[in-house]
Amino acid sequence: MRSLTLTVLTSKGCHGQGSPNVSAQHAPSQANAWISGEDGDQERQAGVEAPTRQRPEATDRQQRVALKFRPAERIRRRAEFQQVYSRGFRVHSRYCTVFLLANNGGVGRLGIAATKKLGGSVERNRAKRLIREVFRRNKIAPGFDVVVVPKRELLDASLSSIEADYRALVARRLARQSRA
């Protein structure tokens, strides 16, 4: 690091006022000029740093990717929703109404119809997040299109109770369909 020495000379300019003339000269650099005192040459003690964190074999991210809710598992178009409504089975529960329809693919697909009766955008989006999480965790209806219409009671329920309700609802409907 370099230090700077300034010498200021004043001279009379026009109107009789002094204007400074500044000359800047660099002082010779000194070794370790920024450290002063007797502690200047001491080395940092070994082992002061925090220990490195040991990571598990499979990280959380790798586990989450396997459980991701993929675009192929979504019902998006209005015509697909209408088809499930008209030809599917309707099952009512405490937290939602579920429509189930067998599809040609081996993948279960989810559609969510959160209407304004449910509440404002915050409530509707929260309900959709909860339903997507329950569907993502419970892949119990492969080969079925599932459309969920949430009720207001869903917003006050815990995720575990919604999950238990969904599992019982779909299992009940699939068991009834397999008997027929």
Q: What is the CATH number of the domain that holds 115?
A: 3.30.230.10
Lowest mean pLDDT among 27-31, 117-121, 168-172: 27-31
Q: Is the dihedral of CA 64, 137, 84, 124 positive or negative?
A: negative
Higher pLDDT, 46 or 119: 119
Lowest mean pLDDT among 30-44, 76-90, 95-109: 30-44
pLDDT at 169: 87
Residue 99 domain-assigned?
yes
Residue 66 domain-assigned?
no
Asked if pLDDT for residue 114 goes beyond 90, the answer is yes
pLDDT at 39: 60
Burial of 5 (0-12, 13-18, 19+ CB in 10 A): exposed
Domain that holds residue 161: 72-179
Q: How many domains does the chain have?
A: 1
